[in-house]
Structure 1
Amino acid sequence: MKAICIQEPGKVEIQDIEKPVRKPGEALLKMLYGGICGSDLGSYRGANAYVSYPRIPGHELAAEIVEIDDNDRGLKPGMIVTCNPYFNCGTCYSCRRGLVNACTDNQTMGVQREGGFAEYITMPIERIYDGKGLPAKTLALIEPFCISYHGVSRANVQKGERVLVVGAGTIGVLAAVAAKAKGAEVTICDVAEDKLNYAYETFGLNHKLLNSSPEAFEKGVSELTGGDGFDVTIEAVGLPNTFQNCIDAVCFGGRVVLIGVSKRNIDDFFFTIIQKKELNVFGSRNAMKKDFLELIDLVKAGGVDLEKIVTNTYKMEDAPKAFEEFSQNAGKMLKVVIDFT
């Protein structure tokens, strides 16, 4: 079968590899759609803090069940499903406490282990979730929505609170959508005006803030909050300056959520500001089974049209072009999807 492989930073190839054979307790899946995650793009650029090469990317998945054993989950051949791609060890302190998303030996598909960008994959049955009739392309978007939703849940966002999301990429936009679904007043912020406008207009967010300069950012925060600062700020970029933006923009006694991933350090950070403002700072990693199940139901009920996030779709054989163009035009392209059908 064929698979997409990042051989090294900047080099993507379509390779011939052995078709996988499922083991007991696993299902054989035929890939239908896969989204290129920001971490996949980071792997392509050599900026992913966790990846090694060569690597088959991909963990935003929609697939058809080809073979599966009898099971108590109602999963059968022919069903269209999505998957939980975060493999946890089951024995570390985090896992023993049920915090499987924060496993100390976490292996995410496409990062620490081979991903799903191949014609066929195998998956443990317990990691497969019924798509409940949702279109395959929509199901490929459930995982990134889970990442965003988990971060918003970490902050316990409440109705009427003012929330700033820094980053109008897929994760940032979906975090804004999740916060809005909880009744918050949401501002989306980015340096890329085209992507910012698309997110603001497409998803009906309350406000937008173009981060064109430190002065413009400070002025915008003051105007949007009457000088109070935001109740919650969510970092969805993974850069030192955007983390600093979130610290600066949050109110005294507010909450800051860090979803973005970076290899870079933040220099000369005035950490006493956390004490001075009495901030609650949350890391947010991966997602939980409950996030997948809740969001499949939410999207099924018509709460969110996830496919609006997709700006570009490529066939599997055009994957090298997809990664190259996404890397060159990340300021304009939002969610890029690979079509394996």
Structure 2
Amino acid sequence: MKAIVCEEPRVFKIINKEKPQLEKDKAIVNIKRIGVCGTDLHAFTGNQPFFEYPRVLGHELAGVIEAVGKNSYGLEQGDQVSVIPYMECGECIACKKGLTNCCTNMQVMGVHFDGGMAEQISVPCDHLIKTKELTLDQSAILEPLSIGAHAVRRSDLQKDDIALVIGAGPIGLGVMQAAKQKGAKVIAMDINEERLAFSEQWADVDVSINVLNEPVEQLMKITNGDMPSIVFDATGNSKSMMDAFQYPANGGKLVYVGLVKSDITFSDPLFHAKELTLLASRNATREDFDFVIQSIESGFIDAKSFITHRSKFDELPNEFESWLKPKNGVVKAMIEI
């Protein structure tokens, strides 16, 4: 079967790889859609933490079950599925508390082991979700939108909270959608005017702010001097993450959704004066996937306009580099097999 391997930064190669064999409690999935995420872009450019080359990328996946043995999940050959790509150990302190998304021995598909840029993969049955009522495109975007939903759930955002989401990429857009669905007033912040316009159109944010135009003053005006009660940083940019301490209200929360391969510092007097709560949000759980599925089925999420660029599997090595260029306006790229 064909697979696409990232041999080293900025080098993709189509290779022939042995087909996976059916194992107990696993299913063989024919991959049909592969969403391209920031993790893939960072890995391609050599900026992804916890990463080694060569690696088959891809963890935003949808496909059809080719083969599966006896299982307690109702999975059968021919079922359309989405993949939960975080492989937890089930034994550590986090897993025992149900926090499988931050397992101490976490292995993420396409990062710690080979992922889904291949014609077939083997997946544990308990990491597959049947998506009969969704399209393949909708099934493939469950994972990135679930990350946003998890961040919102972790923040304990309440109806009528004012939420600032910094970073209008796919993950930030997912945070915006989930926050809107929970009834919050949502402010989008970015440096890219096209991304901000997309946030207004796709996520229906209430206000958008360009971070280059005196953001503190704008936030003070929007919130009548109170500042946002919850701030989500989905940039994966160290400067943005450090600057974000300026934005929450006194007694507010700052949630880091993006990950950066760097140290983060902040002013302790500011942190204490505001009695801020600082949270990290990592990955997602099945509960978050279920929330996004319900959102799509209810018509709250428009998958069609979320996906802005496409490529056929064989064309990816030539297409991928262009998705890195801001002028091309990529929000979510999708690979079709």
Q: Which runs of 5+ in 2 are unaligned?
A: none
Alpha-carbon shift at residue 303 of structure 1 (Å): 2.4
Alpha-carbon shift at residue 330 of structure 1 (Å): 7.4
Taking structure 1 as the reference length, what is the TM-score of the superposition? 0.95
Partner Cα separation in structure 1 for residue 314 and residue 270 of structure 2: 50
Residue number among 320, 325, 336 corresponding to 2:333 in the alignment: 336
Q: Do the aligned partners of 2:149 and 2:291 also contact (CA within 8 Å) in 1?
A: no
Secondary structure, in 3 states, of the residue corresponding to 1:230? coil
Aligned residue in 2 for 1:108: 108
Aligned residue in 2 for 1:224: 222
One-letter code aligned to 1:90: G
Aligned residue in 2 for 1:264: 262
Q: Do the aligned partners of 1:235 and 1:243 also contact (CA within 8 Å) in 2?
A: yes
What does residue range 1-341 of structure 1 map to in structure 2 within 5 Å? 1-213=1-213, 216-267=214-265, 269-329=266-326, 332-340=329-337
Alpha-carbon shift at residue 228 of structure 1 (Å): 1.2
Partner Cα separation in structure 2 for residue 65 and residue 218 of structure 1: 50
Partner Cα separation in structure 2 for residue 294 and residue 204 of structure 1: 18
Partner Cα separation in structure 2 for residue 237 and residue 103 of structure 1: 23
Q: Which runs of 5+ in 1 are unaligned?
A: none
Q: Residues 330, 3 of structure 1: CA spacing in aligned structure 2 closer, same or farther, 3 A cutoff?
A: farther
Taking structure 2 as the reference length, what is the TM-score of the superposition? 0.96
Alpha-carbon shift at residue 11 of structure 1 (Å): 1.1
Alpha-carbon shift at residue 331 of structure 1 (Å): 7.3
Alpha-carbon shift at residue 126 of structure 1 (Å): 0.9
Deviations 1:22-63 (A, max 9, x none): 211111100010101111111011111111111111110101
Partner Cα separation in structure 2 for residue 163 and residue 256 of structure 1: 10
Alpha-carbon shift at residue 201 of structure 1 (Å): 1.9
Tell me which stretches of 4 or more aligned residues in structure 1 moved more than 6 Å.
none
Alpha-carbon shift at residue 132 of structure 1 (Å): 3.0
Alpha-carbon shift at residue 321 of structure 1 (Å): 2.9
One-letter code aligned to 2:310: T
Secondary structure, in 3 states, of the residue corresponding to 1:252? coil
Alpha-carbon shift at residue 310 of structure 1 (Å): 0.9
One-letter code aligned to 1:26: K
One-letter code aligned to 1:300: E
Alpha-carbon shift at residue 15 of structure 1 (Å): 1.3
Aligned length: 337
Partner Cα separation in structure 2 for residue 110 and residue 143 of structure 1: 13
Alpha-carbon shift at residue 312 of structure 1 (Å): 0.3
Percent identity, please: 33
Q: Do the aligned partners of 1:259 and 1:284 also contact (CA within 8 Å) in 2?
A: yes
Q: Residues 238, 331 of structure 1: CA spacing in aligned structure 2 closer, same or farther, 3 A cutoff?
A: farther
Secondary structure, in 3 states, of the residue corresponding to 1:222? helix
Alpha-carbon shift at residue 315 of structure 1 (Å): 0.6
One-letter code aligned to 2:120: Y
Query: What is the root-mean-square deviation in Å for CA atoms of aligned residues?
Result: 1.4
Alpha-carbon shift at residue 3 of structure 1 (Å): 0.8
Deviations 1:286-327 (A, max 9, x none): 111111123212212222223321110111012123320111
Q: Do the aligned partners of 1:194 and 1:331 also contact (CA within 8 Å) in 2?
A: no
Partner Cα separation in structure 1 for residue 67 and residue 267 of structure 2: 55
Partner Cα separation in structure 2 for residue 7 and residue 16 of structure 1: 14
Secondary structure, in 3 states, of the residue corresponding to 2:75? coil
